[in-house]
Amino acid sequence: MDERKRDHLRICANERVEAGSTGFSAIRLSHKTSPEIRLDDVDTRTKLLGKRLALPLIFEAMTGGTEEALRINRTLAKVAQKKGVGMGVGSQRAAIENPLLEETYSVRDVAPDILLIGNLGAVQLNRGYGLAECERAVEMIGADALALHFNALQEAVQPEGDTDFRGLIAKVNKVAGKLSVPVVAKEVGCGIDYATAKRLKVAAFDVAGSGGTSWSLVESYRNSGDMGAVGVTYAEWGIPTADAVRSLSKLKTPIIASGGIRTGLDAAKAVALGAEAAGVALPILRAYYAGGEKAVGEWVDRFEAEYRTAVYVTGAKNNRGLRGKVV
C-alpha cells in the first residue's frame, strides 16, 4: 500500500494523467454589461457541511500514509487555514490498518478552523469495515465529515484492485444514518450518476466527474501487463463533471463539483449549475511540487480572482446569486 501511494504521487506529479472533457467548455455564463455593483462588493463566502468557507473551494483528497504525504497534507492544510477553504485527506485505510501512520493525515494543529473531510473507500464496507472504522477515521483527524469514495473503474484496472461492489449503497446509507458527522458520497473521476445518487441517503455528493485526472490512466502507468492497456482504453470513461452537477442538482443535496476544475471560471460555472463548492486536486499538487506553500497560496489567489470576476460580470453579488446564470 505504501508503494502504491508513492506511485500515485509520482505519476500525478510527472505524467500525463488528464483525459476526457468536463463539459464546462460548452457552458457560458450570462454577461451583465453593467453589473451595477463594485467588484469589491462580491461576497464569495459560503457554508458547506456546517462550516463556513471564505471561498467555495475544497482541496480534494490526495494522499496520506507516507512521509511525503505528511509534508504535503500539512502544507496544504496551512494554506487552507490562511485562505479559509476546505480540505480532504487521502484514503485513511492505511492508518486504520497501521496506527503508526495516523500522523501522516493529522493536520488539525495547523488548521484548527477549516472544513476537514476524512476519507475511506466505500468498497471497504464489503471487507469487514463498518461504523467503528468510519468513526475511527473521523476521530483520527478531527474530521467535520467523512467521504466514502466509489472508484469501481480504478479498482477494475488496478493491479491490487478490489471489485466487489455488491450491496454498497445500502451499507453506505447505514453508516450515514449513524455516523457522528455527515457522510459525503464521492467519486474519483468518473462522475456520480443520477440513479445511484437518488438511492444514496448522504449529506452531500462530491461528483468527481470525467475531464480531470483519470485514475484509470494513472493505474495504467503502474501496470505493464494487459490491464495497463485496458486502463488507457478507459482513460476518458465517465460522466463529464458539468453534466453530473446539472443532473444531481435536481436532488437538492449539496454538491461539490470536482473533476477537471482548473480555474475560478470553471468553479463559477459549476456553482451556476447547482454546486455549493468546487474541488481541486491535481493543480494544487503540482503547485506544491513547483514551489511549496507559497506556490499553492498563489494558485488559490489566482483562483479567487477568477471566481470573483465571474460573479461580478454576471451581476450576481454572491454565490447564491450566481445560481442559474447560464446561457
For the stretch 6-39, pLDDT in tens is 999 999 999 999 999 999 999 999 999 999 999 9
Query: Which pLDDT score, from 0 to 100, does residue 160 have?
Result: 83
Query: Which pLDDT score, from 0 to 100, does residue 70 have?
Result: 96
pLDDT single digits (tens) 244-283: 999 999 999 999 999 999 999 999 999 999 999 999 999 9
pLDDT band, residue 3 (cuts 50/70/90): confident
Enter the DSSP assignment of 86: E
Q: Hey, how many other C-beta atoms are within 10 angstroms of the C-beta on 74? A: 18
pLDDT band, residue 2 (cuts 50/70/90): confident
pLDDT single digits (tens) 276-302: 999 999 999 999 999 999 999 999 999
Q: Residues of 227-246 as b/e, b for ≥16 C-beta within 10 angstroms?
A: bbeebbebbebbbbbbbbbb
Query: Which pLDDT score, from 0 to 100, does residue 227 have?
Result: 73
Cell 475511506 locates to 120
Q: With pLDDT > 70 as the criterion, what percentage of the chain qualifies?
A: 100
Query: Which pLDDT score, from 0 to 100, does residue 244 have?
Result: 98
- Which helix or strand (DSSP H or E) is residue 51 part of? strand 51-53
pTM score, whole prediction:
0.96
Query: Which pLDDT score, from 0 to 100, does residue 4 have?
Result: 85
Q: ∠ at Cα 309 (80, 256), nearest 5°?
A: 45
| List of E strands, 89-199 | 116-121, 145-150, 183-187
Average pLDDT, the chain: 96
Whether the per-residue pLDDT at 1 is higher than 80: the answer is no
Whether the per-residue pLDDT at 52 is higher than 90: the answer is yes
Question: Under 8 Å CB-to-CB from 230, ≥6 apart: which residues?
Answer: 156, 157, 220
| List of E strands, 63-108 | 86-88
pLDDT single digits (tens) 192-238: 999 999 999 999 999 999 999 999 999 999 887 777 899 999 999 99
303: closest CA among 37, 99, 56?
56
Backbone dihedral angles phi then psi of residue 163, each to the nearest 5 degrees: -110, 20
137's grid cell: 477515521
CA–CA dist 133, 164 (Å, integer): 19
Average pLDDT over residues 73-87: 98
How many CA within 13 A on the CB side of residue 254?
19
Give me the domains of the chain, ranges plus CATH numbers: 2-322 (3.20.20.70)
Query: Which pLDDT score, from 0 to 100, does residue 313 have?
Result: 98
